[in-house]
Amino acid sequence: MTVYDVAIIGSGPAGMTAAIYAARANLNVLLLDKLAPGGQIVNTFEIQNYTGMGTVNGAELAIKMFEHTQELGVNFDYGTVTAIQSEESVKKLICEEGHTFEAKAVIIATGTKPRMLGVAGELNFAGSSISWCAICDGPHYRNKKVIVIGGGNSAVEEAIYLASLAHEVIVVTLFDLTADPLACNKLRALPNVKIYEYHDILEFLGTDKFVGIKAKSTKTGEEIIVNADGAFEYIGLKPTADAFKELGIVNDYGYIETDAFMATKVPGIYGAGDIISKHLRQIVTACSDGAIAAQSAAKYIEKLN
């Protein structure tokens, strides 16, 4: 079995940047993911705050990043890692699919996944009339009526995109709009957008077919019913680090704890990107984490040799 110098779990911006930096350090690199490369940015229609790119489609940026890894000879493979067995000089990655990989160092960059509301009717329509990806499912609602749940950057940016397709977009958020002011102003100016702030979602309505939501004002207590053809949820993200809890590197909130060098308390295992405990989760900070983690892993491997 090939023993890689470094195995990177997750091929979002953090993982792919780590792969680029590790390859440039002349390391034999494995980039591993259960899905296509790109992570969360694949599902983002427009990215406007990644330095030097202006406005760029998320999937296009993901492709460019992945092509960069391939130009440097990074090995890419599919696998869902369920555990890491840490030995003194080799880490063994156990995958759900039945195969294993070995590496001297590991960088965990598994990121996050969308949160769900957990209210009545949600599971009935999840994946059909309820979506977490406007760029994937938005075209189904051309000239129809859709609801966007949430008020942060993702919710506002995707609501703007959906407004270019749908007849009407209704934004429902538990607080006010908390996204970048420029994006909020742009959304508010759209003629086919209606915003319900300070409303709590109580239920997704419909039996065989989704028909809308029931929500309640947190200020007045008044309940409203909003009819629509579909809904998109953007209410935050959940870390995907369950597979690594036995290593003792995951905090009470589900995120991986690292130091300034992206090192966990297990020698040779590093974290990078949205999966680590940090203050700002953006593409640019994920890339920064990946670069630091790769450099730290390279120094660790140098000491092993």
pLDDT at position 205: 97
CATH code of residue 128: 3.50.50.60
Question: Looking at the structure, do residues 247 and 101 belong to the same domain, yes or no?
Answer: yes
Supply the range of the domain harboring residue 207: 122-233
**Residue 143 confidence class, pLDDT cut points 50, 70, 90:** very high
pLDDT at position 128: 86
Number of structural domains, the chain?
A: 2
Question: Looking at the structure, do residues 244 and 110 belong to the same domain, yes or no?
Answer: yes
Enumerate the β-bridge partners of residue 213: 204, 226
| Three state DSSP letters for 84-128 | EEECCCCEEEEECCCCEEEEEEEEECCCEEECCCCCECHHHHECC
pLDDT at position 8: 98
Question: Looking at the structure, do residues 131 and 74 belong to the same domain, yes or no?
Answer: no
pLDDT, tens only, 31-69: 999 998 999 888 777 788 889 988 888 889 999 999 999
C-alpha gyration radius of the chain: 21
Average pLDDT of the chain to the nearest whole number: 94
Question: Looking at the structure, do residues 100 and 243 belong to the same domain, yes or no?
Answer: yes
Q: Which two tokens stand for residue 46?
A: 């427009």
Mean pLDDT of 192-201: 97
pLDDT above 90: percentage of residues in the chain: 82
Asked if residue 280 has pLDDT above 90, the reply is no
Question: Looking at the structure, do residues 223 and 241 belong to the same domain, yes or no?
Answer: no
d(CA 69, CA 63): 10
Contact yes or no for 272/256 (Cβ under 8 A): no
Question: Looking at the structure, do residues 66 and 140 belong to the same domain, yes or no?
Answer: no
Enumerate the β-bridge partners of residue 210: none
Of the residues 233, 266, 285, which one is the last residue of a structural domain?
A: 233
Question: Looking at the structure, do residues 177 and 128 belong to the same domain, yes or no?
Answer: yes
Contact yes or no for 233/114 (Cβ under 8 A): yes
pLDDT at position 272: 98
Question: Looking at the structure, do residues 89 and 164 belong to the same domain, yes or no?
Answer: no
**What is the CB neighbour count within 10 angstroms for residue 87?**
9
Question: Looking at the structure, do residues 160 and 210 belong to the same domain, yes or no?
Answer: yes
Asked if residue 88 has pLDDT above 80, the reply is no
d(CA 101, CA 32): 10
pLDDT at position 40: 85
Question: Looking at the structure, do residues 220 and 250 belong to the same domain, yes or no?
Answer: no
Question: Looking at the structure, do residues 173 and 192 belong to the same domain, yes or no?
Answer: yes
Contact yes or no for 3/104 (Cβ under 8 A): yes
Question: Looking at the structure, do residues 110 and 247 belong to the same domain, yes or no?
Answer: yes
Q: What is the pTM of this model?
A: 0.81
pLDDT at position 87: 81
Q: SS3 helix, strand, coil % of the chain, rounded to 5?
A: 30, 30, 40
